[in-house]
């Protein structure tokens, strides 16, 4: 693997991990909100 | 922290293909199709009698979108070989080699499972069951079983696209009544003329991929007649919500006008034959209008409900 390919590998992995982190964070917030709404029912 | 790659890490990197971009996973969900799914699901939710908390309404639509995305990913996982043979689909993440096939399968399973689970715990058990069945219907009954076997595949596939407004409605009411079934029927009957109009001007692709699309199997003349027949049936079906008293005059007039134009555009498609080097303008026009038609009809449905409310 050339240095350029390795840099691209790491860039893609980092971007993907960031997106997964954002999605998981969004779900945590969503579940918190759902719980609050359901408790009010 | 500055981490320098060890020889072991370098060896691992060297033997590992580049990881897929997140955009490729997003492309697996067929975002353009999903926009229609989200829209019709939202319209079903907004047109239903009753109210739903905005957070729960958002969650229901998110689940419908995730379910549709999961089913689309499973569809592309199964059809990667076929997609590679067609110009229209050859650039998708799997046939172009940007994504591994098993990753697409796992992603599809994860999205599908998560959508049904969240719908079950946050919204309603009946909505979760119908959502689960819609995913099974599209990924298994349509994609794996019937699409490669019958020229009626588009009619059957139309059922999968017809579920979102039904699920949106159930998310609010918790029951299945005549109105959401009619919304289901409208999309179900809208799909054949919508897709066969497309298939008429890209039929070479389907023939080469071995998919028994109606123009390939039954011939162009029969397909054209069926496009016209379904368009007339769509006119009648789109008026039923108004006739049974489920909607008001706003929807009734909009459905009549929009469906009349649909039939008018279907007439030249139904009655003509294509010539060598035909630019297929009537078919392209009908296909373009069919997308506008569905957006406009469901917008009218919601507008009608808002005014009545």
**What ranges in A1-41 are assigned the alpha helix state H?**
3-40
Q: Which residues contact B230 (CB under 8 A, 6 or more apart)?
A: B189, B192, B193
Q: Please tell me the distance in Å from A30's CA to the nearest CA on chain B.
A: 8
Token couple for B52: 């739903």
Residues of chain A contacting B70 with CB distance shorter than 8 Å: none
Token couple for B258: 């929009």
Question: Residues 28 to 67 of B: which have CB under 8 A from any A CB?
Answer: 53, 55-56, 59, 62
Give me the mean pLDDT over the A12-36 stretch.
Answer: 95
Residues of chain A contacting B19 with CB distance shorter than 8 Å: 9, 12-13, 16
More confident residue, B146 or B237: B237
Contact A34 B5 (CB under 8 A): no
Query: Is the overall model pTM greater than 0.90, yes or no?
Result: no
Q: How many CB pairs under 8 A join A and B?
A: 36
* pLDDT band with cut points at 50, 70 and 90 for residue B89: confident
As a dihedral over the C-alpha atoms of residue A18, residue A19, residue A25, residue A26, rounded to 10 degrees, the angle is 160
Considering CB atoms only, which of A12, A30, A33 is closest to B18? A12
Considering CB atoms only, which of B13, B14, B53 is closest to A37? B53
Q: State residue B154's pLDDT score.
A: 86
- Sequential DSSP letters for B169-208: HHHHHSS--HHHHHHHHHHHHHHHHHHHHHHHHSHHHHHH
Residues of chain B contacting A5 with CB distance shorter than 8 Å: 18
Residues of chain A contacting B22 with CB distance shorter than 8 Å: 15-16, 19
CB half-sphere exposure, B228, CA atoms < 13 A: 13
Token couple for B259: 């469906």
Token couple for B58: 């958002």
Question: What average pLDDT does the structure give for chain B?
Answer: 90
Question: Residues 12 to 41 of A: which have CB under 8 A from any B CB?
Answer: 12-13, 15-16, 19, 30, 33-34, 37-38
Instruction: Report the distance separating Cα B256 and Cα B248, nearest Å.
Output: 13
Token couple for A14: 């980092």
Instruction: Report the distance separating Cα B168 and Cα B58, nearest Å.
Output: 10
Angle at B125 between CA B119 and CA B128, to 5 degrees: 45
Q: State residue B203's pLDDT score.
A: 64
Closest CA to B71 of B127, B132, B122: B132
Q: Where are the domains of chain A?
A: 1-41
* pLDDT band with cut points at 50, 70 and 90 for residue B228: very high
Token couple for B10: 């370098």
Q: Which residues contact B116 (CB under 8 A, 6 or more apart)?
A: B63, B67, B128, B131, B132, B135
Angle at B107 between CA B115 and CA B162, to 5 degrees: 45
Instruction: Catalogue all structural domains in chain B, each as residue range(s) with its CATH number.
Output: 21-173 (1.10.357.140), 177-309 (1.20.120)
The tens digit of pLDDT for each residue in B262-294 reads: 999 999 999 988 888 888 899 999 999 999 999
Instruction: Report the distance separating Cα B28 and Cα B137, nearest Å.
Output: 18
Does pLDDT of B22 surpass 60? yes
Residue B19 contacts A, CB cutoff 8 Å:
yes
Contact B19 A19 (CB under 8 A): no
Q: Please tell me the distance in Å from B206's CA to the nearest CA on chain A.
A: 34
Contact B16 A33 (CB under 8 A): no
The tens digit of pLDDT for each residue in B90-125 reads: 889 999 888 999 999 999 999 999 999 999 999 999
């Amino acid at each position: 693997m050339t240095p350029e390919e390795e840099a691209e590998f790491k860039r893609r992995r980092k971007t993907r991990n960031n997106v997964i982190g954002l999605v998981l964070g969004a779900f945590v917030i969503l579940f918190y909100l759902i719980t609050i709404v359901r408790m009010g029912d | 922290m500055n981490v320098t790659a060890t020889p072991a890490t370098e060896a691992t990197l060297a033997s590992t293909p580049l990881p897929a971009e997140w955009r490729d996973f997003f492309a697996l969900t067929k975002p353009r199709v999903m926009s229609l799914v989200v829209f019709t699901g939202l319209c079903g939710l907004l047109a239903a009698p009753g109210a739903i908390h905005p957070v729960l309404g958002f969650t229901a639509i998110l689940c419908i979108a995730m379910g549709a995305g999961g089913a689309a990913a499973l569809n592309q996982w199964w059809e990667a070989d076929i997609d590679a043979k067609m110009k229209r689909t050859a650039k998708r993440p799997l046939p172009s080699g940007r994504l591994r096939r098993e990753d697409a399968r796992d992603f599809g399973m994860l999205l599908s499972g998560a959508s049904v689970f969240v719908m079950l715990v946050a919204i309603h058990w009946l909505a979760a069951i119908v959502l689960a069945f819609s995913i099974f219907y599209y990924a298994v009954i349509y994609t794996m079983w019937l699409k490669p076997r019958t020229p009626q595949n588009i009619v059957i596939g139309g059922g999968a696209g017809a579920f979102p407004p039904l699920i949106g409605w159930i998310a609010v009411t918790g029951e299945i009544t005549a109105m959401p079934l009619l919304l289901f029927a409208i999309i179900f009957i809208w799909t054949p003329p919508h897709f066969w109009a497309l298939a008429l001007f890209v039929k070479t692709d389907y023939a080469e991929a071995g998919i028994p699309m109606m123009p390939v199997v039954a011939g162009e003349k029969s397909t054209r007649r069926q496009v016209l027949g379904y368009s007339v049936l769509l006119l009648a079906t789109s008026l039923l919500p108004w006739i049974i008293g489920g909607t008001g005059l706003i929807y009734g007039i909009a459905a009549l006008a929009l469906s009349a134009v649909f039939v008018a555009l279907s007439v030249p498609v139904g009655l003509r034959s294509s010539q060598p080097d035909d630019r297929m303008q009537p078919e392209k026009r009908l296909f373009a209008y069919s997308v506008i038609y569905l957006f406009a009809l469901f917008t009218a449905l919601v507008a009608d409900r808002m005014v009545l409310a």
